[in-house]
Amino acid sequence: MLAEVGLSKSRVRELQTIPVDRLSGVAAEAMKKMPSHQSFLRQVNGEDNWGPTVDGRILPRHPFDPNAPEVSAEVPPLTDSNLHEIVNGLDRRETEAMPMDELHQLVSQEFGEHGRGIVDAYRSHYPQATPFDLYATIAAASFRRAPAYAYIYAWRTPILDERPGPFHAAELGFAFDSAESCMITSVEAVLEQLSYQNKSVLLG
């Protein structure tokens, strides 16, 4: 980041004076030069290498490696997963036209000879899904490895021709009964119904 904007380490505080749109562009360029450890599927239409760095001072250790933090040992968790998580077509209109051939190609690059069987399995569970919907769902599956009691939030907002999909954190407004303050939908009747149903399930 510092090299991209021409700053030395002693001038790191000047990052706070850079406009956010330029900083975002600079961050994207810097991340392209970093080694990637994420799967191919998640790189194509998701975030890559954007997160905090363990520096031994501000962030003294990884929060869950080699084990979970003691500070939260007595905190009961409530977990969930969104159907598409970080993969969405929010700013990519071309995803609407993704052909099945491209879907099979992407999944095969990640899973080899098992690719076609994986696509067929997801298609059987989501028969109305578009190729991109299936791609996003399969790409998000890497988050779900260990058995867990959880829910998958799959409601699609009608704005922007439904391109955002059930993206990461989209359910928070409904889960905490504050959906009216969110910008993901303009259909008040649906909003109220979903907020009520989610609250009833979470509190019931």
CA-nearest of 61, 5, 21, 59 to 13 is 5
Reported as a single tens digit per residue, the pLDDT across 83-138 is 777 777 776 777 788 899 998 998 998 888 999 999 999 999 999 899 999 988 88
Query: How many whole angstroms separate alpha carbon 191 and alpha carbon 187?
Result: 6
Domain that holds residue 15: 1-34
In a domain, 7, yes or no: yes
- More confident position, 187 or 55: 55
Query: For residues 107 and 120, what is the distance between their CA atoms, to the nearest angstrom?
Result: 11
Does residue 120 sit within a domain?
Answer: no
What total of structural domains would you count in the chain? 1
Q: Does residue 155 lie in a domain region?
A: no
Chain centroid to CA 106: 18
Helix or strand run (H / E) with residue 153: strand 152-153
What is the model's pLDDT at position 93?
76
Alpha-carbon separation of residue 136 from 5, 37, 70 (angstroms): 33, 19, 34
Name the more confident of 171 and 200. Answer: 171
Between 151 and 66, the higher pLDDT residue: 66
Residue 103 resides in a domain: no
Query: Quick check: is 73 in a domain?
Result: no
Per the model's pLDDT, the better-predicted residue between 155 and 7 turns out to be 7
Per-residue confidence (pLDDT) for residue 149, from 0 to 100: 57
Residue 29 lies in a domain: yes
Helices (H) and strands (E) in the chain, counts: 8, 2
Q: Is residue 20 part of a domain?
A: yes
Residue range 31-47, pLDDT digits in tens? 777 766 555 554 544 44
The whole-number pLDDT of residue 101 equals 92
Instruction: Find the helix or strand (DSSP H, E) in which 117 lies.
Output: helix 115-125
Residue 55, in any domain of the structure: no
